[in-house]
Structure 1
């Protein structure tokens, strides 16, 4: 056991005891496809100002992907969890994709990679053809590495499109060019405010109709869709309307246990950012589910849900801070430094609650290491002194 000092909302600072959780175990034969959207580890000694971006520590970044693969997960590479569009630019994203796909293919691991239009900064003069060209360039680059495309939502398309028909035109054009079926990604505005009104409507159910039409018209080019709307009801509604053979990948970091478990009409596979920090618990849950042990599945996942809901609380786009904080506390990297200075994006109280909830979820396999690192983060934020 190890004690740390943590603040609460009343301004009180009190001792808190960290306890040891179970060691991760390699996953068995799962009956769900499970991708973890993996973060990148920043190089803390890079001479790049945080406001500009930052450099990647390639050794630690790839080491974390090996950790996820060892537990049985696929890696969803260069997604928003990797700070795509929040410090990680396209050239660095492509280098990340090249390195990850090469390792995944060499060792037989599952991987899919984000392709979008983030190198295109839209202006009032930007055209749909330019959006298509931007998408096509990134998709071709991903497929040239041997990777499967995750077709990410496009800020440029959202800015340029005049209505649902423009989404149909763009997606139809891009999907028709791909060598293998893609995973679509509908990222809600809670994750990225610039994507409000995606699919041509601010009403998610109307937008869903357009998205489903795009999928139906290109079903042979769509492996599945990941939706990140933080609404179990909307995901289930869409899941039941997908064409045969098109998978639903949950991106719901609030309701993933019930969505993955499913109901008598189907279930969701997973492509989740929260699987990055809770990989050990998620592997235990998925192994139990495949063995028909629903009680074990629920027991493994239940304590992770409050943590996930806290990490992804509004403003949700800053969830990466909690993900990287947990990677630091659990020994997957030696510092709490992020690209673009995002380690400062969450409050001290927020991080303190991350510690409490991660402890309850059994994530700290080495409480002494975690405690030392909690102290290192809390001290410059005003929580000084040794633990009582």
Structure 2
């Protein structure tokens, strides 16, 4: 595991020495980047001693990786952990600034980013800080803490940096070693169901929760990929290191996918509605007791997977088949009809697959297949990514 520790200015910076030590003891290779303000609280020499590597501070350093140290570090790491993360650093990250080495490499990396905030309780509660935090969370940045308790200023409240042992434990749990290296690859994943409006208050939908797509996004990000997750309405947390794009309808999802010009892998895990209402009622439709029923005129939605498969710069295309009968035959036919490289087939209905934490899949490609028995969707996602990687290597 390769973990890059960033340190912002704050009294809690002295705790980061312990954090680095705990990560190294667990077998991680750790590099440290400090801001100039952090050096007022802890010395680079101390961090070099516990990490075993020189500490970086300067953005323009001719002796560090030929002056491109931010690119080298951004590509090297499996996860970026900034502890402590000050109010100033959080604000600069939220604005996308790149005015020092630490903020620049956060913009340059595709690895998951985790922040452990540390500041005065009033600063943490300030609307500006909370708005910046929400912005970062929406981009997939993960937060550890802050904790509540006595602060260096003498006040008591939320704002303390979580203890280094707890940060180390949580970081190690979310930095799995993976045999798949997708650094430099762009992966686009659709997830969840779509909602096709009937009128301002009603819509047509399905039972998809989005869990499988989110698990695949997390697995791809853990392999270092630049992941774009385009998802329908759901209540799931964005996986660390994943860029999330929220949509509601199938048309919006199709537009979001088409807006991404280049991708190496496309995984259509979303349960996209096949049809939408031809004309959406502008006002809420009232029940008419005099009418025996209601007829909706439906028109087909665009086929997102087939459209991606027809691109000139075609990525590796993966789709899903949710069937209630003749699973393998329908899945095989669907793979060929839509031009997929790989299809993941599963039976649905009777409480299976949809909105469940576990699933069982049969993966089918042009000259082979593989069964994945019932397992948590996160486990299946890791196996699917490994199979995709193997199939891609065969064509290189």
- Would you call these one fold, judging by a TM-score over 0.5? no
Please report the TM-score for the alignment, with normalisation by the length of structure 2. 0.30
* Structure in which a larger fraction of residues adopt strand: 2
Q: Which of structures 1 and 2 has the bigger CA Rg?
A: 2
* Structure in which a larger fraction of residues adopt helix: 1
Please report the TM-score for the alignment, with normalisation by the length of structure 1. 0.30
Q: More relative contact order in 1 or in 2 (CA 8 Å, sep 6+)?
A: 1
